[in-house]
Homo-oligomer: A and B are copies of this chain.
Amino acid sequence: MTIWNNLDTLEAYNNLVNSDKKVNLAEAMTGDNGADRVKKYSVPMAAGLTYNYAAKEVDDEILEKLVALANESKLSEKFEALYNGEVVNTGEKRLVLHQLTRGQLGSAVTADGVDKRIFYVEQQEKIADFAKKVHSGEITNAAGEKFTTVVQIGIGGSDLGPRAMYLALENWAKKNGCFKMDAKFISNVDPDDAAAVLASTDVAHSIFILVSKSGTTLETLTNESFVKDALAKAGLDASKHMIAVTSETSPLAKSSDYLEAFFMDDYIGGRFSSTSAVGGAVLSLAFGPDIFARFLQGAAEQDKLCANNDVMNNPAMLDALIGVYERNILGYPSTAVLPYSQALSRFPAHLQQLDMESNGKSVNRFGEPVNYKTGPVIFGEPGTNGQHSFYQLLHQGTDIVPLQFIGFKNNQMGVDVDIQDSTSQQKLCANVAAQIVAFACGKKDENSNKNFKGGRPSSIIVGDQLNPEALGALLAHFENKVMFQGFLWNINSFDQEGVQLGKVLAKKVLAHETDGALKVYSDMFEI
């Protein structure tokens, strides 16, 4: 059995707390030493990506202590227990199997009487078969016409991850001749969301994917009705336009309301579901099942690296450890994700859910309050846009915000212009390189308003191009980073009890069972 201990009970952690050693980042990153650090503090990821942490406030001594922390916390053993099917989601008494949707790292995992790897592969194949039939015209609308658009109806993990992945590969797919169908997304219970998407969609040639594990998510069922209304008004039979992604036990699983149902299960948390049927259906329809398979392949390769118990060659584990060092030893309360790639415009929003919903907890996995900070606030926008926005605070604000850059040598669409002796892509890359050094080293100026103190830590993930494998590896890296941090903080990263109270109170409002402040707020909205 895995032994779970609070972070502050670990000797290695207390060694870090009690150490006076601090890295002067501005100094460390200057001159030849800086160049050496950039070469040295670098570790390969899957799909040709590299994780570089030279501009983090660590050195060999601190890294050694962090490795000791990883070992004492038994991060590798915990991951091993997880992928071999231990009930790591202890609160909900569930296995945690999202890695199994893309590959098998350990022994066979049986649950609900089946081999779960076989189950996930079956679902992937069933989706692939369905998508191929849609693309070939074997499955059509009632008039025998091909479907041209797929619309995902889901919220939270059924929306943010798949949407971010779709946007990440949309232009790549168009450029590489594997773009099959437009994908759109309806998520918010605000009726203007569904109304606006439907107003710009050719519903007669659209497949709608209803995504809800439980089959009871209020927003999603509401938006399904919205869509059914629109289909009925267009004289269309909704059951010929809708598929479901749900659990086998949900009310949606065997309903004749859907052309087909694809399954996930309780072992895949919503925010970890992009590689399951939740992402699989929409991405396979949009880009073809082969592209989705390549995306899974990138994630699987990255998972393998994360199962490596050699900490210094395990990028997600290193990233997790450095993050905990920043959060608990250096006391930084937030982290910015800054992809220098317009295709990753919604990737920070996905990571925001992934990280904050997983690790925004105050009790450990035994329900005891923890005496240390857990998950930070995560936010971000693509560069260079952010440079003209909130970077002012990042450079000169009174709080230090650790930064996670992402960049690629090449763009996706292969169209570029040469202005002032450089292409746009070169300018983009020059900016991300420049920012890392600017944040780390700063620059002295007599005018203190123009003075940059530096000492602002960042890491970067660099790749050749954002393609399906690279995207899968990126996704898996952050999923695994969040998992390792949850292990270190001894919290359950796989439940989300913090979202329940709002739901309960909203139901009371709708049932007019309110009093006190809630009644006055409800009256304000004339509910």
Contact = CB atoms under 8 A, between A and B. Distances in A.
Nearest to A332: B333
Contact of A91 (B193, B449, B515): B449
- Interface SS, A side: helix
A107 interface: no
Number of copies: 2
A32 B516 contact: yes
A333 B399 contact: yes
A447 interface: yes
Contact of A433 (B333, B448, B524): B524
Interface residues of A, number: 161
A377 to B, nearest CB: 5
A444 to B, nearest CB: 11
A497 interface: yes
Interface stretch (A75-83, A156-164, A295-303): A156-164
Contacts of A370: 398
A37 B429 CA distance: 53
A225 to B, nearest CB: 5
B437 A505 contact: yes
Interface stretch (A58-66, A129-137, A246-254, A382-390): A382-390
B190 A384 contact: yes
B449 A363 contact: yes
A247 to B, nearest CB: 17
A391 B502 contact: yes
Contact of A38 (B334, B437, B520): B520
Nearest to A197: B342
Given A392-B499, A449-B497, A452-B498, A385 B155 contact: yes
A367 interface: yes
Interface in A49-72: 50, 52, 54-55
A496 interface: yes
A222 to B, nearest CB: 5
A226 B424 contact: yes
Contacts of A270: 388
Interface in A331-385: 333-334, 340-343, 349, 352-353, 356-363, 367-370, 372-379, 381-385
Nearest to A495: B449
A510 B373 contact: no
A526 interface: yes
A346 B353 CA distance: 17
A152 interface: no
A16 interface: no
A517 B35 contact: yes
Contact of A373 (B390, B398, B422): B398
Given A442-B501, A502-B387, A357 B430 contact: no
Interface string A387-411: 1111111111111010000010101
Given A352-B379, A363-B449, A437-B516, 20 more contacts: A38-B521, A159-B388, A188-B383, A192-B343, A360-B392, A367-B448, A377-B399, A387-B502, A391-B502, A392-B499, A395-B501, A396-B497, A397-B498, A427-B510, A429-B522, A434-B509, A440-B517, A450-B497, A450-B500, A460-B521
What are the 3 tightest A-B residue pairs by CB atom distance, in nearest-first order? A360-B393, A156-B388, A34-B517
